[in-house]
Amino acid sequence: MSNIILHQGAHAATREEVEAVPTPEATETWQPISHSLLLSTIEEQLTGLGLQSQNPEFGLWNNGARLFGTFELTNGVQQEDYALVVGVRNSHDKAFSAGLAVGASVFVCDNLSFSGEITIARKHTRWIERDLPRLAAQAVGRISSLRIRQEERIESYKTTRISEQRAHDILIRSVDARAISNAQIAKVLEQWRKPEHKEFKPRNAWSLFNAYTQVYKGTNRLELPRRTTQLHGLFDQVTGLIAKAPVVGEGCEDTDVRVN
């Protein structure tokens, strides 16, 4: 992966810089956790299942108060054109919960998407440090089954042909689903009609999906899990997979775990 940080006010960071970010003092109702603790907790759960992380990338916003990071997963099974990835986020300014999402990174174009089958979000309230290992274990434990589903999903996208007229219809539906804004329609259409990579010249759902994720490169990566989850929901309908589009959100409770 590359160019993970492309949004104003953000900058790429090393693991050392992420771990050096100070954690604010807790209050009676707010319990922030260090970026380092979130990363190490998830990595411990991955290692326990025989999964290894590689190619980590991190970005920091607002003087380090917001973290977004990704790393690829490997356990000896590797696709030729994409890898399973984990995305993590955390905040020290009450902007959003500590969270994890799983998705895919496409090698040829460094496009990144999150599928929403496995997501966790834990608000920074009392007992977050106690709950985090359990929540991470629940999410990580389902990665093996997600890998199989991801393969089926992408294969379905590749074998579903998309006409120009159908592409236009999907574009409008994606605006309704809040996967893109009105201002991004023309950009996605340009990527669809004139793909930057020969791998996306076939007129199928996989090519159109990557037209979207190519446009996402220039947007706020903190919004990426929500946008790409909505996009997957739409494309799953288009290709005849599970119809219901999952939504990544914070939830109303202190703990939000979703496994669809």
Specify which residues 112 forms β-bridges with: 105
Cα gap 218→13, rounded to integer Å: 18
Any residues with CB less than 8 A from the CB of 152 and at least 6 apart, and which?
Answer: 241
Instruction: Compute how many other C-beta atoms are within 10 angstroms of the C-beta atom of residue 192.
Output: 24
Cα gap 97→173, rounded to integer Å: 29
The pLDDT score that the predictor gives to residue 138 is 87
Nearest to residue 35, comparing CAs of 61, 67, 4, 63?
Answer: 67
Choose between 52 and 188: higher pLDDT: 188
As to burial, measured by CB atoms within 10 angstroms (0-12 exposed, 13-18 middle, 19+ buried), residue 139 is buried
Let me know: does 102 contact 150? Beta carbons within 8 Å.
no
pLDDT tens digits, one per residue of 89-107: 999 999 989 988 888 888 8
The pLDDT score that the predictor gives to residue 5 is 55
Nearest to residue 256, comparing CAs of 86, 92, 139, 111?
Answer: 139
The pLDDT score that the predictor gives to residue 253 is 38
Cα gap 234→94, rounded to integer Å: 30
pTM for this structure? Answer: 0.80
pLDDT tens digits, one per residue of 195-245: 999 999 999 999 999 999 999 987 877 788 889 999 999 999 999 986 544
Choose between 249 and 159: higher pLDDT: 159
Q: Tell me what the pLDDT averaged over the chain comes to.
A: 86
Let me know: does 160 contact 205? Beta carbons within 8 Å.
yes
* H-helix or E-strand spanning residue 46: helix 35-48
